[in-house]
Amino acid sequence: MMQNLSRDDFELVKDEDSADIVVVNSCTVTNGADVSARGYINGLNRKDKKVFVGGCGALSKGEELFKNGKVFGVFGHSEKENLNRLLKSKEKFVQIGDLKSLDKSIVEEYLGKSKAFIKIQEGCNFRCSYCIIPYVRGDARSQDEALILEQISKLASHGFGEFVLTGTNIGSYGKDKGSSLGGLLQKIGKIQGVRRVRLGSIEPVQIDESFREVLGEPWLERHLHIALQHTNEQMLKIMKRRNHLKSDLELFHELHALGYALGTDFIVGHPGESEEIWRDAIKWVKEFPLTHIHAFRYSKRDGTPSAKLKNSVNGEVSKARLKELQSIVQEKNFEFRARNRVSLEILVEEKKDGFYIGYDQFYNKIQIDSNTDITKEWVQIGDYDVQRSGNKAKF
């Protein structure tokens, strides 16, 4: 969105207090996300800011916010490339647009960032019972390959070495164009200056033969985030998931044998998650070679099939289950780092509390003590301390 603003018309500021206009890129993945966005917008109104709202929340709650006089303008995903014109509008507006387009903007710089984020697709063809996203993002559609490669080439020439591929469901890339994520990765890896490619979340069923062909490439981060959402077969059916426990476990062990750190998403406390189902899920979690987890408690989302289900899980029970799950994976992460004592290649992102902070090729955070300013630098660390709280080193 910043790329689509004319510097002749607007000045970008990093502090919202000094801004006249605030653009809110809202999320709607949970009811709580909507509440959070509304609260933030109310705060901006009290500061007398001119507020525009985009993102998924623009589709789910935008018109309500507009009707209540909370925002000056509402715009959908397809309107982001028209942001400069929209922000100059003298009239209040709601322009939702459509759910079939893709932003064609070429981003050539990421202010203050050490790595670049490349959106390769939009939308999702999955219809998991708990998820509202396909209804506010539309069906899966892939960005033109040439546009992706052009953007990465330009960013690489500007000094960016790490690229994070993002989207609603990136593993579906190319299905609508006779291509594949693996094929795209092969071409990205050949671009001069590309040092590391990191992927957003992918689905187990999307790791096909073309993807397996790039698993040995040195530029592919040795960490994959593969969305399981649960490790009980009955629960996967309730969630209307496409993955299955047995094949998931086989896939994770296959990737683990290749030296990959492995993360996953996991929803705790979904309706129907009985104590028996939970205990079975935990038994299987212990069998998976997991190193990272993005686990969260189920949040009812109006408009989804799961919102109509009975057999809800008590809030205190789901809190305890979440804590149990996170504790197991934290220990697995520590064991992985202690066992896998290899040289770490780190992109340093920031300095915080006297230490330089970066992530290695396994997506593990490290604290570095250095007398030299190494912000945004690549460093190789062979000697480091493995602690439960994270790795630490001197450079």
**How would you write the pLDDT of the chain (395 residues) with one tens digit per residue?**
888 899 899 999 988 899 999 999 998 877 778 888 999 999 999 999 999 999 888 888 889 999 999 999 999 988 988 999 999 999 999 998 888 877 777 677 777 788 999 999 999 999 999 998 888 888 999 999 999 999 999 999 999 999 999 999 999 999 999 999 999 999 999 999 999 999 999 999 999 999 999 999 999 999 999 999 999 999 999 999 999 999 999 999 999 999 999 999 999 999 999 999 999 999 999 999 999 999 999 988 888 999 999 999 999 999 999 999 999 999 999 999 999 999 999 999 999 999 999 999 999 999 999 999 999 999 999 999 999 999 999 99
Helices (H), ranges, 178-231: 181-188, 209-212
Amino acid identity of 244?
Answer: H
Give phi and psi for 322, each to the nearest 5: -60, -45
In the chain, the N- to C-terminal Cα span, in Å, equals 37
118 burial level (CB within 10 Å; 0-12, 13-18, 19+): buried
Residue the block writes with tokens 């999307």 = 206
DSSP state of 173: T
d(CA 148, CA 146): 5
Helices (H), ranges, the chain: 31-46, 56-60, 62-67, 83-87, 133-137, 145-157, 181-188, 209-212, 233-238, 245-257, 275-285, 315-339
d(CA 385, CA 133): 41
Give phi and psi for 244, each to the nearest 5: -135, 145
Between the alpha carbon of residue 153 and those of residues 108, 184, 185, 376, the distances in Å are 9, 14, 13, 19
Give the rounded distance of the alpha carbon of 166 from its chain centre.
Answer: 7
